[in-house]
Amino acid sequence: MTHDFSQEITGDRESQNQQGNTWRQYFSFNTDHKVIGVQYMVMTFIFFLIGGLLAMLIRAELLTPESNLVDRPLYNGLFTMHGTIMIFLWIIPFNAGLSNYLVPLMIGARDMSFPLLNAISFWILPPAGLLLLSSFFLPNGTAQAGWWSYPPVSLQVPGDQFINGEFIWIVSLVLIGISSIMGAVNFVTTIFWMRAPGMTFFRMPVFVWSVFSAQLLQLVNLPALTAALILLLLDLSFGTQFFKPDANGDPIIYQHLFWFYSHPAVYIMALPAFGIFAEILPAFSRNPLFGYRSVAIATLGIAFISIFVWVHHMFTSATPGWMRMTFMATSMLVAIPTGIKAFAWTATIWRSKLHLETPMLFAMGGAAMFIFGGVTGVMLAATPFDIHVNNTYFVVGHFHYIVFNTITMAIFAAIYYWFPKITGRMYAEGWGKLHFWLTFIPANITFFSMHPLGLQGMLRRVSSYDPQYQGWNIIASLASFLLGASTLPFIANIVGSWLYGPRAVDNPWHATGLEWTTSSPPPRDNFEEIPTVTRPPYDYGNPKYSVIVNSDNSE
């Protein structure tokens, strides 16, 4: 379905802005990519809070070696839901929301290529998320097999009810998967077909490259997870035997299908974060992004290599030696394109005058923490080391350095950076910096503590442990409570600034991206005239390109 916007763009800019600002739109079925983007971001943030509360319950249980706060089935449910919510209802859909908001603006399009499909993609998510949460109220509780949901554990659900926690978990994830596939079709088509005149592939911002690569991965890999979930559901509820070892079924096949998606899923989450760094670091160091083309191609390279690394999650799953060796090599290969990126970020800010506003703090913090998480990632790719720390808190620590200290930091950076564009108002800088330090320090304490715990042998997914591990656990738990509390100044800042903040100018950071050439917030149709792009991105400091965009009628 398409909509004729030509009448709406004839009004003056002020009335268009008001159109884009009506709060009622955000609660309605709307096909404007900007409204959908904000809907995604706000909804996923609510899930982030829920997932965070579950994490703090987990950390509270781990304060003492005994299992004395929640019973074990509930503890299993807590970590299962925490992981599921944070991955499938926070990071991935938040990135989808941010990309939804930014990609059409960044490539000079009026909307996504399939606006109706876009709205449907979003509106699948709230019911799927509520369905997932509702499983807490089932007689036998929610799914308890972890976010991997490996059979045969996931097939051993307590009680005989047809509708059980695992059933609900599978159905919700299939729904979320359908939403993501539709979104991926939309993003890839939009980036291929909707670019403004002159916006060649090598004039696209790296963020768009990242979204493009990540969404290609969704298209190629997500169906494998959907297939695995369908098979799991058939085994669970309809008496088939694909993954049942006692009936000749093979649970290892589930692991192959699951990780064929879920390892690239890490890059589906991380690539947009890298894209965010590539937007913010140049803007706040007033330098062009170093090695732009290499970074763009490295983005595609990461996506491509990540398709061939999934077995490194299965080094301890009776995997044959040749397979271990092969996948150890491919997994380590990912370090090359990611290294190119990290090198480019460093070279971009090298010997420049840094402007340490909140987005820059979060971007630099996130990028630096990625180096740490990346190094432990290479360690885990090495089979002998992985066998030693497999299923310990070392893996949990590494993973959280990526998903929290890198990606969630990047998300916060993005929220602050594009807040003036999205809302037309400025956030409070002091509160933003407070939020950064309240996040950065406790996050590092929390997740660093998990590395020595893991090296000493503390297993993940246990509610009770040997008293020798208590010291690091107390440190991690107390820091995690502080980390949870750090969200409060963020919420106060965002809500307060959105309502009462000072008006923002169109381009408060003097950034070069196309999204900054339109008003804040952008009008319904994004641009009064579709811009013609005549320059590469990231042209900070080049007087030759002081005029950012030559609109057809502007000169």
Partner 1 sequence: MQRRHIDESPIRFDLWRRRLPNWLQRFLPSGGGTHEDHHGKGMFGLTIFLLSESIIFLSFIFTYVALRLTTHNWLPPGISGPELSTLVVINTVVLLSSSFVIQPAENALKRNQLSKFRWLWLITIAMGSYFLVGLLIEWKSLDFKITTGLVGSTFYLLTGFHGLHVLAGVVLQIIMLIRSFIPGNYNQTHFGTSATTLFWHFVDVVWVFLFSLIYLWRT
CB neighbourhood size of 327 (10 A): 22
Stretch that binds partner 1, among 78-86, 119-127, 153-161, 344-352 (CB under 8 A): 344-352
Residue with tokens 């307590």: 158
Tell me, by CB under 8 A, how many residues bind partner 1.
75
Q: Which is nearer to partner 1, 29 or 192 (CB)?
A: 192
Q: Which helix (H) or strand (E) holds 532?
A: strand 531-532
According to DSSP H, which parts of 238-250 are helical? none
Q: How far is the CB of 527 from partner 1 (least distance, A)?
A: 8
Three-state secondary-structure class, residue 358: helix
Tokens of 400: 């959280």
Choosing from 78, 96, 196, 494, the residue that interacts with partner 1 (CB under 8 A) is 196
Query: Peptide bond before 502: cis, by omega within 30 degrees of 0?
Result: no
Q: How far is the CB of 256 from partner 1 (least distance, A)?
A: 8
For residue 528, what is the DSSP state? S
Beta-strand pair 531-532/550-551: antiparallel
Build a one-symbol-per-residue string for 205-234: x at contacts with partner 1 by CB under 8 A, - elsewhere: --------------xxxxxx-xxx-xx--x
Q: Which is nearer to partner 1, 320 or 384 (CB)?
A: 320
Contact 418, 205 (CB under 8 A): no
Return the C-alpha torsion angle 88, 91, 97, 99, nearest 10. Answer: -120
Q: Is residue 253 a contact residue for partner 1 (CB under 8 A)?
A: yes
According to DSSP H, which parts of 402-548 are helical? 409-423, 429-456, 470-485, 487-500
> In the range 352-391, which residues lie near partner 1 by CB under 8 A?
352-353
Contact 83, 147 (CB under 8 A): yes
Stretch that binds partner 1, among 73-81, 254-262, 358-366, 453-461 (CB under 8 A): 254-262
Q: Which is nearer to partner 1, 201 or 437 (CB)?
A: 201
Closest-CA residue to 474 (of 334, 356, 465): 465
Q: How far is the CB of 295 from partner 1 (least distance, A)?
A: 9
Q: Which is nearer to partner 1, 60 or 178 (CB)?
A: 178
Q: Which is nearer to partner 1, 263 or 400 (CB)?
A: 263
Task: Count the alpha carbons within 13 Å of 152 in the hemisphere toward its beta carbon.
Answer: 12
Q: Which is nearer to partner 1, 199 or 280 (CB)?
A: 199
Build a one-symbol-per-residue string for 95-134: x at contacts with partner 1 by CB under 8 A, - elsewhere: ------------xxxxx-xx--------------------
Q: How far is the CB of 344 from partner 1 (least distance, A)?
A: 8
Q: How far is the CB of 105 from partner 1 (least distance, A)?
A: 11
| E strand segments, 239-372 | none
Q: Which is nearer to partner 1, 24 or 544 (CB)?
A: 544
Q: How far is the CB of 331 from partner 1 (least distance, A)?
A: 21
Stretch that binds partner 1, among 149-157, 198-206, 389-397, 424-432 (CB under 8 A): 198-206
Q: How far is the CB of 437 from partner 1 (least distance, A)?
A: 28
Bridge partners, residue 169, by sequence: none
Choosing from 161, 200, 391, 534, the residue that interacts with partner 1 (CB under 8 A) is 200
Contact 73, 158 (CB under 8 A): yes
Q: How far is the CB of 396 from partner 1 (least distance, A)?
A: 28
Q: Which helix (H) or strand (E) holds 192?
A: helix 165-193
> In the range 258-297, which residues lie near partner 1 by CB under 8 A?
260, 286-294, 297
Closest-CA residue to 151 (of 85, 222, 89, 234): 234
> In the range 391-450, which residues lie near partner 1 by CB under 8 A?
none
| E strand segments, 184-263 | none
> In the range 323-342, which residues lie near partner 1 by CB under 8 A?
340
Residues 6+ apart with CB under 8 A from 4: none
Q: Which is nearer to partner 1, 253 or 332 (CB)?
A: 253
Q: How far is the CB of 351 from partner 1 (least distance, A)?
A: 5
Separation CA 489–CA 394 (nearest Å) = 30
For residue 97, what is the DSSP state? H
| Residue 534 CA from chain centroid, whole number | 32
Q: Which is nearer to partner 1, 124 or 389 (CB)?
A: 124
Q: Which is nearer to partner 1, 384 or 543 (CB)?
A: 543
**87-100 in b/e burial notation, b at 16+ Cβ within 10 A?**
bbbbbbbbbbbbbb
> In the range 163-192, which residues lie near partner 1 by CB under 8 A?
181, 184-186, 188-189, 192
Separation CA 183–CA 520 (nearest Å) = 25
Q: Is residue 237 a contact residue for partner 1 (CB under 8 A)?
A: no
> In the range 524-543, which residues lie near partner 1 by CB under 8 A?
530, 536, 538-542
Tokens of 62: 């781990």
Q: Is residue 247 a contact residue for partner 1 (CB under 8 A)?
A: yes
Stretch that binds partner 1, among 69-77, 200-208, 365-373, 417-425 (CB under 8 A): 200-208
